[in-house]
Amino acid sequence: MSGPFNQPIDAAEVPRFAGQASFMRLPVASTAEGLDIALVGIPWDGGTTNRAGARHGPREVRSQSSLMRRVHHVSGTEPYSIANIADVGDLSVNPIDLMDGLRRIEAGMAEIVAAGAIPLSVGGDHLTTLPVLRAVARTRPVGLIHFDAHSDTNDTYFGGNPYTHGTPFRRAIEEGLLDPSRIVQIGIRGSVYDPGEHDWARQQGVRVIYMEEFVARGAIDVMAEARAIAGDHPTYVTFDIDSIDPSMAPGTGTPEVGGFTTREAQQMIRLLDGVNIVGADVVEVAPPFDLAGMTALAGATMMFELLCVLAKQVSDRRQT
Protein backbone atom coordinates (compact mmCIF):
# COMPACT_ATOMS: atom_id res chain seq x y z
CA MET A 1 0.00 0.00 0.00
CA SER A 2 2.68 2.44 -1.00
CA GLY A 3 0.43 4.23 -3.47
CA PRO A 4 -1.05 7.04 -1.38
CA PHE A 5 2.12 8.04 0.46
CA ASN A 6 5.16 10.10 -0.40
CA GLN A 7 8.04 8.03 -1.75
CA PRO A 8 11.77 8.71 -1.81
CA ILE A 9 13.41 9.26 -5.18
CA ASP A 10 14.04 5.82 -6.69
CA ALA A 11 17.78 5.14 -6.53
CA ALA A 12 17.44 2.91 -9.59
CA GLU A 13 16.27 5.92 -11.59
CA VAL A 14 18.23 8.81 -10.08
CA PRO A 15 21.50 7.83 -8.39
CA ARG A 16 21.73 8.70 -4.73
CA PHE A 17 24.43 11.32 -5.23
CA ALA A 18 22.32 13.26 -7.71
CA GLY A 19 19.60 15.82 -7.26
CA GLN A 20 18.85 18.23 -4.45
CA ALA A 21 19.36 16.91 -0.95
CA SER A 22 16.32 16.33 1.27
CA PHE A 23 15.91 14.13 4.32
CA MET A 24 15.78 10.51 3.09
CA ARG A 25 15.35 11.80 -0.51
CA LEU A 26 11.70 12.47 0.25
CA PRO A 27 9.65 15.24 -1.34
CA VAL A 28 9.97 18.67 0.27
CA ALA A 29 6.59 19.88 1.50
CA SER A 30 5.67 23.47 2.29
CA THR A 31 3.59 22.47 5.31
CA ALA A 32 3.03 19.42 7.50
CA GLU A 33 -0.65 19.18 6.52
CA GLY A 34 -1.59 15.62 5.63
CA LEU A 35 1.64 14.13 6.96
CA ASP A 36 1.95 11.43 9.59
CA ILE A 37 5.59 12.33 10.26
CA ALA A 38 7.34 15.62 9.43
CA LEU A 39 11.12 15.60 9.01
CA VAL A 40 12.42 19.08 9.79
CA GLY A 41 15.73 20.85 10.25
CA ILE A 42 16.51 23.33 13.03
CA PRO A 43 19.74 25.02 11.91
CA TRP A 44 20.45 26.95 15.08
CA ASP A 45 23.26 26.71 17.65
CA GLY A 46 22.65 29.86 19.65
CA GLY A 47 22.78 27.88 22.90
CA THR A 48 26.26 26.47 22.35
CA THR A 49 28.69 27.23 25.20
CA ASN A 50 31.92 26.03 23.57
CA ARG A 51 32.51 24.84 20.00
CA ALA A 52 29.74 26.09 17.71
CA GLY A 53 28.75 24.55 14.38
CA ALA A 54 25.58 22.51 14.91
CA ARG A 55 23.72 25.15 12.86
CA HIS A 56 25.21 23.34 9.87
CA GLY A 57 23.83 19.97 11.00
CA PRO A 58 20.58 19.72 9.05
CA ARG A 59 22.16 20.34 5.65
CA GLU A 60 24.86 17.71 6.14
CA VAL A 61 22.44 15.18 7.62
CA ARG A 62 20.23 15.69 4.56
CA SER A 63 23.22 14.92 2.35
CA GLN A 64 24.27 11.81 4.27
CA SER A 65 20.67 10.61 4.55
CA SER A 66 20.84 9.84 0.82
CA LEU A 67 22.71 6.71 1.95
CA MET A 68 19.60 5.40 3.72
CA ARG A 69 17.61 2.84 1.75
CA ARG A 70 13.89 2.06 1.96
CA VAL A 71 13.69 -0.96 4.26
CA HIS A 72 14.93 -1.57 7.81
CA HIS A 73 17.02 -4.69 7.60
CA VAL A 74 16.15 -6.04 11.08
CA SER A 75 12.50 -5.12 11.68
CA GLY A 76 11.57 -5.24 8.00
CA THR A 77 9.81 -1.91 8.43
CA GLU A 78 9.18 -0.01 5.20
CA PRO A 79 8.41 3.45 6.59
CA TYR A 80 7.34 4.98 3.27
CA SER A 81 4.79 2.25 2.67
CA ILE A 82 3.03 2.59 6.01
CA ALA A 83 3.18 6.32 6.80
CA ASN A 84 3.06 9.59 4.91
CA ILE A 85 6.35 11.38 5.46
CA ALA A 86 8.03 14.44 3.95
CA ASP A 87 10.86 16.87 4.56
CA VAL A 88 9.18 20.13 5.54
CA GLY A 89 12.39 22.11 5.29
CA ASP A 90 14.07 24.11 8.04
CA LEU A 91 12.35 26.09 10.75
CA SER A 92 12.91 29.83 10.73
CA VAL A 93 15.77 30.77 13.06
CA ASN A 94 17.67 33.86 14.17
CA PRO A 95 21.42 33.28 14.56
CA ILE A 96 22.10 36.56 16.36
CA ASP A 97 19.23 36.74 18.87
CA LEU A 98 18.81 33.84 21.30
CA MET A 99 15.36 34.74 22.61
CA ASP A 100 13.99 35.39 19.12
CA GLY A 101 15.56 32.12 18.00
CA LEU A 102 13.67 30.25 20.70
CA ARG A 103 10.41 31.98 19.76
CA ARG A 104 10.79 31.16 16.07
CA ILE A 105 11.56 27.50 16.72
CA GLU A 106 8.56 27.13 19.03
CA ALA A 107 6.26 28.82 16.51
CA GLY A 108 7.47 26.68 13.63
CA MET A 109 7.17 23.50 15.62
CA ALA A 110 3.70 24.49 16.84
CA GLU A 111 2.51 24.57 13.21
CA ILE A 112 3.73 21.01 12.68
CA VAL A 113 2.04 19.82 15.87
CA ALA A 114 -1.19 21.62 14.94
CA ALA A 115 -1.17 19.84 11.58
CA GLY A 116 -1.24 16.53 13.45
CA ALA A 117 2.17 15.34 12.26
CA ILE A 118 4.77 13.78 14.55
CA PRO A 119 7.94 15.90 14.29
CA LEU A 120 11.32 14.23 13.77
CA SER A 121 13.81 17.08 13.78
CA VAL A 122 17.54 17.48 13.27
CA GLY A 123 19.37 20.22 15.16
CA GLY A 124 20.97 22.39 15.95
CA ASP A 125 22.32 22.35 19.46
CA HIS A 126 20.43 20.77 22.34
CA LEU A 127 18.81 24.02 23.42
CA THR A 128 16.60 23.61 20.33
CA THR A 129 14.79 20.82 22.17
CA LEU A 130 13.41 23.32 24.71
CA PRO A 131 11.27 25.33 22.24
CA VAL A 132 10.35 22.06 20.53
CA LEU A 133 9.02 20.77 23.86
CA ARG A 134 7.15 24.06 24.40
CA ALA A 135 5.23 23.19 21.24
CA VAL A 136 4.94 19.42 21.66
CA ALA A 137 4.07 19.51 25.39
CA ARG A 138 1.87 22.59 25.30
CA THR A 139 -1.22 20.78 26.55
CA ARG A 140 0.32 18.28 29.01
CA PRO A 141 3.73 17.27 30.33
CA VAL A 142 5.46 14.45 28.47
CA GLY A 143 8.06 11.87 29.40
CA LEU A 144 11.58 11.93 28.00
CA ILE A 145 14.00 9.26 26.84
CA HIS A 146 17.28 11.12 26.54
CA PHE A 147 20.48 9.71 24.99
CA ASP A 148 23.42 11.96 25.80
CA ALA A 149 26.86 12.19 27.37
CA HIS A 150 25.49 15.14 29.35
CA SER A 151 22.48 15.59 31.61
CA ASP A 152 21.82 19.13 30.27
CA THR A 153 20.13 20.01 33.58
CA ASN A 154 22.53 22.74 34.73
CA ASP A 155 21.01 25.96 36.02
CA THR A 156 22.74 29.01 34.54
CA TYR A 157 25.90 30.01 32.68
CA PHE A 158 27.78 33.28 32.13
CA GLY A 159 26.30 35.47 34.82
CA GLY A 160 22.94 33.87 35.31
CA ASN A 161 21.92 33.13 31.72
CA PRO A 162 19.26 30.40 31.88
CA TYR A 163 19.28 29.38 28.20
CA THR A 164 22.19 27.28 26.91
CA HIS A 165 22.53 23.78 25.52
CA GLY A 166 23.57 22.74 29.04
CA THR A 167 20.24 23.75 30.59
CA PRO A 168 17.26 22.75 28.38
CA PHE A 169 15.90 19.92 30.52
CA ARG A 170 16.10 21.91 33.76
CA ARG A 171 14.08 24.65 32.09
CA ALA A 172 11.65 22.12 30.61
CA ILE A 173 11.03 20.57 34.04
CA GLU A 174 10.59 24.00 35.62
CA GLU A 175 8.13 24.99 32.89
CA GLY A 176 6.06 21.85 33.45
CA LEU A 177 6.80 20.51 29.96
CA LEU A 178 8.33 17.29 31.29
CA ASP A 179 7.16 14.92 33.99
CA PRO A 180 10.46 14.37 35.82
CA SER A 181 9.35 10.99 37.13
CA ARG A 182 9.16 9.84 33.51
CA ILE A 183 12.59 11.06 32.39
CA VAL A 184 15.48 8.69 31.79
CA GLN A 185 18.92 9.87 30.70
CA ILE A 186 21.21 7.21 29.22
CA GLY A 187 24.96 7.42 28.54
CA ILE A 188 25.86 10.23 30.91
CA ARG A 189 29.61 10.50 31.45
CA GLY A 190 32.64 12.74 31.43
CA SER A 191 34.08 15.30 33.76
CA VAL A 192 31.65 17.72 35.38
CA TYR A 193 31.80 21.24 36.79
CA ASP A 194 30.65 20.27 40.26
CA PRO A 195 30.52 17.02 42.28
CA GLY A 196 26.78 17.51 42.80
CA GLU A 197 26.07 18.36 39.17
CA HIS A 198 23.40 15.70 38.72
CA ASP A 199 21.87 16.03 42.19
CA TRP A 200 19.17 18.48 41.10
CA ALA A 201 17.96 16.15 38.36
CA ARG A 202 17.87 13.16 40.70
CA GLN A 203 16.00 15.18 43.31
CA GLN A 204 13.29 15.84 40.72
CA GLY A 205 12.99 12.11 40.10
CA VAL A 206 15.00 11.91 36.89
CA ARG A 207 16.63 8.51 36.33
CA VAL A 208 20.27 9.17 35.39
CA ILE A 209 22.02 6.14 33.90
CA TYR A 210 25.74 6.64 33.62
CA MET A 211 27.69 5.04 30.81
CA GLU A 212 29.34 2.73 33.31
CA GLU A 213 25.94 1.31 34.34
CA PHE A 214 24.98 0.87 30.68
CA VAL A 215 28.19 -1.10 30.06
CA ALA A 216 27.51 -3.31 33.08
CA ARG A 217 23.85 -4.01 32.19
CA GLY A 218 23.67 -3.83 28.40
CA ALA A 219 21.16 -2.30 26.04
CA ILE A 220 18.32 -4.82 26.45
CA ASP A 221 18.13 -4.44 30.23
CA VAL A 222 18.58 -0.66 30.21
CA MET A 223 15.96 -0.15 27.54
CA ALA A 224 13.48 -2.37 29.38
CA GLU A 225 13.85 0.03 32.29
CA ALA A 226 13.53 3.03 29.95
CA ARG A 227 10.30 1.67 28.48
CA ALA A 228 8.93 1.05 31.97
CA ILE A 229 9.77 4.63 32.99
CA ALA A 230 8.07 6.01 29.88
CA GLY A 231 5.02 3.81 30.41
CA ASP A 232 2.07 4.26 28.06
CA HIS A 233 2.07 8.04 28.30
CA PRO A 234 3.23 10.50 25.64
CA THR A 235 7.01 10.54 25.49
CA TYR A 236 9.58 12.56 23.60
CA VAL A 237 12.86 10.98 22.43
CA THR A 238 15.98 13.12 22.14
CA PHE A 239 19.26 11.80 20.75
CA ASP A 240 22.39 13.90 21.29
CA ILE A 241 25.00 12.65 18.84
CA ASP A 242 27.69 13.16 21.51
CA SER A 243 26.23 10.12 23.29
CA ILE A 244 28.15 8.18 20.62
CA ASP A 245 31.89 7.84 21.14
CA PRO A 246 33.91 10.57 19.38
CA SER A 247 35.87 7.86 17.56
CA MET A 248 32.63 7.23 15.65
CA ALA A 249 31.06 10.69 15.90
CA PRO A 250 33.79 13.33 16.19
CA GLY A 251 31.76 16.10 14.59
CA THR A 252 30.14 17.57 17.67
CA GLY A 253 30.79 20.52 19.93
CA THR A 254 31.25 18.75 23.27
CA PRO A 255 32.78 15.31 22.62
CA GLU A 256 33.25 12.87 25.51
CA VAL A 257 35.28 9.68 25.13
CA GLY A 258 33.91 6.39 26.41
CA GLY A 259 30.59 6.58 24.58
CA PHE A 260 28.17 4.31 22.76
CA THR A 261 29.16 2.58 19.58
CA THR A 262 26.89 3.37 16.66
CA ARG A 263 25.74 -0.26 16.87
CA GLU A 264 24.70 0.11 20.52
CA ALA A 265 22.83 3.30 19.65
CA GLN A 266 20.97 1.56 16.84
CA GLN A 267 20.06 -1.32 19.14
CA MET A 268 18.67 1.05 21.77
CA ILE A 269 16.55 2.97 19.28
CA ARG A 270 15.08 -0.29 17.97
CA LEU A 271 14.16 -1.13 21.57
CA LEU A 272 11.95 1.99 21.69
CA ASP A 273 9.32 -0.05 19.85
CA GLY A 274 6.07 0.24 21.81
CA VAL A 275 6.83 3.61 23.43
CA ASN A 276 4.15 6.27 22.85
CA ILE A 277 6.41 8.72 21.00
CA VAL A 278 5.06 12.21 20.31
CA GLY A 279 8.23 13.61 18.77
CA ALA A 280 11.93 12.93 18.41
CA ASP A 281 15.14 14.65 17.46
CA VAL A 282 18.81 14.16 16.64
CA VAL A 283 20.92 17.08 17.81
CA GLU A 284 24.48 18.41 18.09
CA VAL A 285 25.84 17.19 14.74
CA ALA A 286 28.49 19.88 14.07
CA PRO A 287 29.90 19.42 10.55
CA PRO A 288 32.85 21.84 11.01
CA PHE A 289 34.40 19.23 13.36
CA ASP A 290 33.40 16.22 11.29
CA LEU A 291 35.64 13.87 9.32
CA ALA A 292 34.46 12.50 5.97
CA GLY A 293 30.85 13.08 6.97
CA MET A 294 30.95 10.22 9.48
CA THR A 295 29.07 12.08 12.21
CA ALA A 296 26.40 13.31 9.82
CA LEU A 297 26.09 9.72 8.59
CA ALA A 298 25.68 8.51 12.17
CA GLY A 299 23.04 11.20 12.68
CA ALA A 300 21.19 10.28 9.48
CA THR A 301 21.30 6.62 10.48
CA MET A 302 19.83 7.31 13.93
CA MET A 303 17.21 9.45 12.22
CA PHE A 304 16.28 6.50 9.98
CA GLU A 305 16.14 4.20 12.99
CA LEU A 306 13.81 6.64 14.75
CA LEU A 307 11.75 7.06 11.59
CA CYS A 308 11.16 3.32 11.35
CA VAL A 309 9.98 3.16 14.98
CA LEU A 310 7.68 6.15 14.41
CA ALA A 311 6.26 4.82 11.14
CA LYS A 312 5.45 1.48 12.75
CA GLN A 313 3.68 3.32 15.58
CA VAL A 314 1.62 5.29 13.05
CA SER A 315 0.72 2.13 11.17
CA ASP A 316 -0.14 0.15 14.31
CA ARG A 317 -2.52 2.90 15.46
CA ARG A 318 -4.17 3.14 12.07
CA GLN A 319 -5.03 -0.55 12.30
CA THR A 320 -6.49 -0.41 15.82
Q: Which residues bind Mn ion (CB under 5 A)?
A: 126, 148-150, 152, 240, 242
Question: How far apart, in whole angstroms, are the C-alpha atoms of residue 73 and residue 269?
Answer: 14
Question: How far apart, in whole angstroms, are the C-alpha atoms of residue 176 and residue 178?
Answer: 6
Question: How far apart, in whole angstroms, are the C-alpha atoms of residue 48 and residue 152?
Answer: 12
At its nearest, how many Å lie between Mn ion and the CB of residue 242? 4
Residue 129 or 301 with smaller CB distance to Mn ion: 129
Residue 41 or 89 with smaller CB distance to Mn ion: 41
At its nearest, how many Å lie between Mn ion and the CB of residue 267? 20
Residue 149 or 277 with smaller CB distance to Mn ion: 149
Question: How far apart, in whole angstroms, are the C-alpha atoms of residue 223 and residue 86?
Answer: 29
At its nearest, how many Å lie between Mn ion and the CB of residue 148? 4
Q: Which of 98, 125, 75, 111 is nearest to 242 (CA)?
A: 125
Cβ proximity of 175 and 282 under 8 Å? no
At its nearest, how many Å lie between Mn ion and the CB of residue 76? 32
Residue 45 or 240 with smaller CB distance to Mn ion: 240
Residue-wise DSSP of the chain: --TTS--PPPTTTS-TTSS---GGGPPB-SS-TT-SEEEEEE---TT-SSS--GGGHHHHHHHHGGG--SS-TTT---HHHHS-EEEEEEPP--TT-HHHHHHHHHHHHHHHHHTTPEEEEEESSGGGHHHHHHHHTSSS-EEEEEE-SS------BTTTB--STTSHHHHHHHTTSEEEEEEEEEEE-S--SSTTTTHHHHHHT-EEEEHHHHHHH-HHHHHHHHHHHHTTS-EEEEEEGGGB-TTT---SSS--SS-B-HHHHHHHHHTTTTS-EEEEEEE---GGG-STTHHHHHHHHHHHHHHHHHHHHHHHHHT-
Residue 136 or 188 with smaller CB distance to Mn ion: 188
At its nearest, how many Å lie between Mn ion and the CB of residue 170? 12
Residue 13 or 194 with smaller CB distance to Mn ion: 194
At its nearest, how many Å lie between Mn ion and the CB of residue 229? 19
At its nearest, how many Å lie between Mn ion and the CB of residue 168? 8
Residue 228 or 257 with smaller CB distance to Mn ion: 257
Tell me phi and psi for residue 167, to 5 degrees. -130, 0
At its nearest, how many Å lie between Mn ion and the CB of residue 85? 26
Residue 49 or 92 with smaller CB distance to Mn ion: 49
At its nearest, how many Å lie between Mn ion and the CB of residue 284? 6
Residue 148 or 305 with smaller CB distance to Mn ion: 148
